[in-house]
Structure 1
């Protein structure tokens, strides 16, 4: 036995035989303990190896797979064990399975379709909303985000599966990474469908997001500020129109605190907080129709940030919110209070004097 790795079925039977309530508890011998640990290690290694193989196949171009005789049915069959690992009893395997799903479906419409057809969203939603391990929940959310991006069927299924409620729960946790991933997906949902702004508002998201805009985590603050701006753009912030004076005052206090915090930042921290500075100023303008104190102190755009190096690839894949922020700042810098009008220019004093002299000398 010591030289063999027992099959998982054998390990399962062994575990059950020692967990029946009618049996008396006994201490494991050193040999049994070693056997059990080797079995656990072997199972984990086998699972990870299998998931790597599935990832490799799913990322291989379809035409190459066809030349090797791999059919769509074969690929779909390979997904079955992967999706099954999402329900594994070990949190580490559930988390790794979600991570593999993320890799498989990211920017891959064919894989997204196959996972949806294999009912892969269901176990992901279950892990995202109710898994006892926050790492598993976070990994499941990452997989869901990749699965439903630019996937109309996936977006609809997410909404029908009470996705908003699970996102709201995620915002209420203490996990910074979980909060940030939830906020990023919320932004994407609002960008894809402006009607989601009103739905999120009715579900009480604005107040939760406002609180996260005061988070100690810079990443969470930035994502929360971006979400608030998307809500305003989509008409989902009733506080802006005076529907709730209490929430309106709360938002103003939060923005003022962020302005005060940015003003007292060290130069290096100011550079790192570039997007946060710009978002705070844009939110202040959107809410109160005037520039923030950051603009007056020259902290919205720092020296050297006016003309960033060309980034052709970055522009192609730039997120919509960041592109919108950059446009607002660019429009403001290029604004000319004295626009150029086409037509004849008014006469100068010298021209007027010459004209008068000519008229005086005329017969």
Structure 2
């Protein structure tokens, strides 16, 4: 047990908080006060702490009001009155935006889960006919899931990842696709259960298609997530190679130059480093990768903002076309 008593109970009310604050002040390194705390000082501290507690309660009440709006507007039967529908949509969008802002506070994110807000998002808002509601719902899920294992596990248990991958892959509105992928990222990065669900739903194929879309933001975020996952989880490299990912990435590199090519080249480096199969795939003459990399290197030379991209090109050329092929470790077949 840590010195000082690891089993000490946290205060359950304002008076307990006040007592703990006074005790903490007395136990500090400063000399003990010569006189007990005055009633005026106690009153001031009570008021300050009450304001803090009230602020937290106010936020919970705000979340409840937002959820009431979402439930009310989401349950209405549409009768084709355009002006009324626009007003209802604006209310829902405003409620989702406020919830996202409030749930940057991790305590609020947990409270929203307890209040049923995440269930409402999954069952109703992500399926809403208006794209403005769908993307704000995905944004809210991302806000709640970020750095919150408890919320991540709950969302995964409710099947959120599959729906978010579907939105990323097929939604007709570009912003919905981008926000859904952001939420996917919040559920799978540094989250083993999320990564396993991602694999079971063929998530790497979704990223591949995202990189081939005409949406610049989606291409960039898809390539960045692929690079992040391959860097953090090289054990899944063979799964990605078996999908023909090297060929797909080289195809993407042949598109007009874009900043996201840096992530694509980084992902290729992950696939060839100490990996015989990845090198063999890259050396396929039909890909023409060596010539492509040499041309890119010439184009990028001298451009300070492209320094890392140039280093990736040089690394790929050195690994695949200028050095000895790596030994096959048995995992790359």
- TM-score (structure 1 length as normaliser): 0.62
> For the residues of structure 1 that align with 2:261 and 2:109, how far apart are their CA atoms?
44
Aligned to 1:88: 128
Task: Select 2:100's aligned residue among 52, 55, 58.
Answer: 55
Distance 1:118 1:201 in 2: 30
Aligned to 1:73: 114
2:224 paired with 1:189: no
8 A Cα contact 1:195 1:234, kept in partner:
no
Q: CA deviation at 1:209?
A: 0.6
1:288 corresponds, among 316, 321, 327, to 321
Corresponding residue of 1:257 = 295
Which digits, 9 at most, give the CA deviation of each residue in 1:100-149, with x for residues without a partner? 22222222323322322333223212212222223322221121012111
Report 1:75-224 matches (<5 A). 77-83=116-122, 84-224=124-264
Moved more, 116-125 or 80-89: 116-125
Q: For 1:125 and 1:134, how far apart are their aligned partners in 2?
A: 14
CA 1:234/1:71 → structure 2, altered by over 3 Å: closer, same or farther? same
Contact 1:121 1:144 in 2 (8 A): yes
Query: Equivalent of 2:88, from 43, 51, 54?
Result: 43
The one-character-per-residue Cα deviations of 1:200-224 (angstroms, maximum 9, x if unpaired) are 1111111111122243243221111
Shift of 1:56: 4.6
TM-score in terms of structure 2 length: 0.67
SS at match of 2:259: helix
Partners of 1:112 and 1:147 within 8 A in 2: yes
Runs of at least 5 residues in structure 1 that lack an aligned partner in the other structure = 1-6, 16-34, 291-363
From 257, 267, 277, give the equivalent of 2:310. Answer: 277
Whole-angstrom CA distance in 2 between matches of 1:65 and 1:179: 29
Call closer, same or farther: CA 1:187–1:9 in 2, change over 3 Å: closer
Cα drift, residue 280 of structure 1: 1.5
- Which runs of 5 or more residues in structure 2 are unaligned? 1-71, 324-333
Shift of 1:242: 7.9
Indicate conservation of the 8 Å contact 2:246/2:282, yes or no.
Answer: no
**Separation in structure 2 between the aligned mates of residue 65 and residue 168 of structure 1, nearest angstrom:** 31
1: CA distance, partners of 2:262 / 2:75: 51
- State how far apart, in whole Å, the 2-side matches of 1:136 and 1:54 are: 17
C-alpha displacement at 1:163, in angstroms? 1.2
- Counterparts of 2:258 and 2:118, CA distance in 1: 37
Distance 1:40 1:234, change over 3 A: farther
CA shift digits 1:57-101 (9 cap, x unpaired): 533343x899xxx59632xx1112222211111122212221222
Flag the 1:217–1:71 CA change in 2: closer, same or farther, 3 A: closer
Give the equivalent residue in structure 1 for 2:49. Answer: none
Shift of 1:261: 0.9
Write the distance in 1 (CA, Å) between the matches of 2:276 and 2:220. Answer: 20
**Per chain length, whose mean CA-contact separation is higher, i.e. which structure has more relative contact order (CA < 8 Å, sep 6+)?**
2
Show the counterpart of 2:58: none
